[in-house]
Homo-oligomer: A and B are copies of this chain.
């Protein structure tokens, strides 16, 4: 055992799971932030954001690539502004650690009537003492693991810090660490030989017996099947390499859900499109119909990912669902708890007998990533439909596709991914404003870990308003995403739901997207290029001839769209014509 300052230990541990920490400084976290400067920038560094909500979104975006993201805010005013980002990370299963600098232990102990400290909401009876933990209590529904540090048990702090990191990683959900402002310099006992322990079985309280039984049942079904299909869903985020080796080896038909795009390698000949019940890729359900058994792996069923409200062909199928913490045999089967998809799949790989696996013939995929759209000529204006065709043609290996919750999100099942492409978005939680800061996070994760692949953001103008100050961080931290700014002068999603001509769905019509980066810090145009297009031919020309994808600059492509142009899939979702 040795000792180390708390703040230094924290960043030492964090540097094993991330290289960037996002956030906003405040007087309750300054003592903590000082400790990041004990490390070289190549180990771990600070990325200051424009505001706390953006910091949370950026950490979420980072976590989608890196499987861990982290951000730091200050007491009350900072942490509350970021709560929606944490809620989104929870709903979309992003492993994000939110660290909050809180009032000092002295203030917590010394609180007495009328001794109200700044940032702390006063009690309803103005003569009572304030509750210094009022904000911590709010985190409960949004946090899979919360630790509130104190000076009472310094010897526990190493375990508290480690365990919250471990839980976040294994659960793929956010967690909280509350650190009183006077604690970061405290010397704490630490065992530097101790390693982080990412053991799913203990962390997720897996039931080994139930898991084994489910593996046995599943293997039996696969062995007796002629043509088993594999639907890969969101909780299957880890072990993708093993999964894809398996899918490739046995040639089983496979599909990804909308939130698991790219999990099963979409360039495999046996990949047959995006499964989303009635909103699946055109042709996918006909192919799936040929599967006589389906394993739904990483199950995360919700209104959007499963298009609840529509019908599902799985009702008539022999199907087993394996989720994060349960399994289900058949769509109406009872819930069997204690089963986790990763632990399950690991055991399945170990126990399976390759020789008894069914032999499946390759079939040419007839999934049509075009929804039956006609092919427009270049003189036509850009529409959501022809944009999706252009994008499908232009995607490259390992591209990261980030979708704002704008109308174009519903075009996603029609976009064909190349090998290694990844999806980032909030199709279920749907907090508009997410994608622009998430693009900062995802881009930095790619830069930090020297991954290949372009970052491509599809951004609606209505949603861009929410968080646009983070564009300044694009310039400051030298990232180079491609931004498709889909300009339809407001909230087209809402226009189609209700109020097509109501003022509440309009935004300022004259945002000058092509010049915004110049006032946000790129005064001389060294860090960005911007184009505005209306015709299909102009768009193709910009993408194939004008843009230099290796120039390191931000690429802003503003696309003028009709105010009422929304994807077919969205109209179907809401039952509009």
Contact = CB atoms under 8 A, between A and B. Distances in A.
A231 to B, nearest CB: 15
A373 to B, nearest CB: 26
Interface string A484-499: 0000000101100111
A-side interface size class: 35 or more
Interface stretch (A265-273, A296-304, A353-361): A296-304
Given A498-B31, A519-B519, A51 B127 contact: no
A99 B120 CA distance: 24
A476 B335 CA distance: 53
A70 to B, nearest CB: 15
Interface string A363-378: 0000000000000000
B472 A511 contact: yes
Contacts of A497: 27, 30
A18 to B, nearest CB: 17
Contacts of A235: 126
A499 B30 contact: yes
A85 to B, nearest CB: 9
Interface string A459-494: 000000111110011011000000000000001011
A336 to B, nearest CB: 9
Contacts of A429: 76-77, 118-119, 121
Given A46-B504, A512-B518, A300 B126 contact: yes
Nearest to A428: B118
A398 interface: no
Interface stretch (A87-95, A278-286, A389-397): A87-95
A508 interface: yes
A494 B27 contact: yes
A144 B235 CA distance: 40
A126 B171 CA distance: 11
A313 B91 CA distance: 53
A491 B432 CA distance: 28
A196 interface: no
A34 B498 contact: yes
A114 B51 CA distance: 34
B300 A30 contact: no
A453 interface: no
Interface string A19-42: 000000111001101100100000
A510 interface: yes
Residue of A25, A120, A503 most packed against chain B (CB within 10 A): A25
Given A117-B303, A119-B430, A466-B469, 8 more contacts: A25-B499, A50-B507, A80-B84, A81-B84, A81-B431, A125-B325, A126-B299, A512-B521
Q: Closest 9 interchain pairs by CB?
A: A116-B302, A80-B84, A77-B431, A512-B519, A30-B498, A508-B521, A51-B466, A50-B465, A81-B84
6 contacts: A51-B467, A114-B301, A126-B324, A508-B520, A510-B521, A512-B518
